[in-house]
A and B are shown apart, each in its own frame.
Chain A
Amino acid sequence: DAMVIQNPRYQVTQFGKPVTLSCSQTLNHNVMYWYQQKSSQAPKLLFHYYDKDFNNEADTPDNFQSRRPNTSFCFLDIRSPGLGDAAMYLCATSRLLSGASSYEQYFGPGTRLTVT
């Protein structure tokens, strides 16, 4: 089945130790997103790619970086994780709906990051 895959599902890292979260998709969608979601809050968009075009949200800290080496893969790098970066990280893709003018978004299962 076509899908959005995130690895690992659970990640524990130490304060200040760089960590990379991975996302891959078999949907061949040209848009990919990274969201941060803290407990009982809405997902917060960090950045998104339209093909190779990178779009950073204005309030995304410099500590967060992303790479998209090809259509299928997208990575989230946290250079120096702080305790406040502990959260669920959701990867999503989107495509333009057939016969419509809006996009439909597909989410991966998320990676729950713990910072010790």
Chain B
Amino acid sequence: AQKITQTQPGMFVQEKEAVTLDCTYDTSDPSYGLFWYKQPSSGEMIFLIYQGSYDQQNATEGRYSLNFQKARKSANLVISASQLGDSAMYFCAMSLGNQFYFGTGTSLTVIP
């Protein structure tokens, strides 16, 4: 069964605008972690942001914030003030213990 769902195969955003990448997850385990990774064309998976299931506040890391809505089981990534270098694949992932489950990714293109 799909544990992580990313419904946007591709997204476009104007430079300097904000963009939201969607992610929903499915688990009955009360303890889990949610992650977003960026993968540029070079192939390296770059960690962006983490949200624990027990965290009360939404995680933020610079221009990245995670909109965590536990009841809806969603963990959307918000990128503010998009830059050309943000063009990449973005993967949402969930950890259950030391097992990680990845979504199918969203390809983001930032338009000058």
Contact = CB atoms under 8 A, between A and B. Distances in A.
Interface of A: 31, 33, 37, 40-43, 45, 48, 50, 88, 90, 92, 94, 96-97, 100-110, 112
Interface string B9-43: 00000000000000000000001110101000011
A88 B35 contact: no
B43 A42 contact: no
B98 A48 contact: yes
Interface of B: 31-33, 35, 37, 42-47, 50, 52-54, 89, 91, 93, 95, 97-98, 100, 102-105, 107
Contact of B44 (A31, A42, A50, A107): A107
A107 B100 CA distance: 12
6 closest pairs, A vs B, by CB?
A: A102-B33, A107-B45, A42-B102, A101-B31, A110-B43, A109-B44
Contacts of B52: 97, 100-102
Given A45-B100, A100-B33, A110-B43, A105 B95 contact: yes
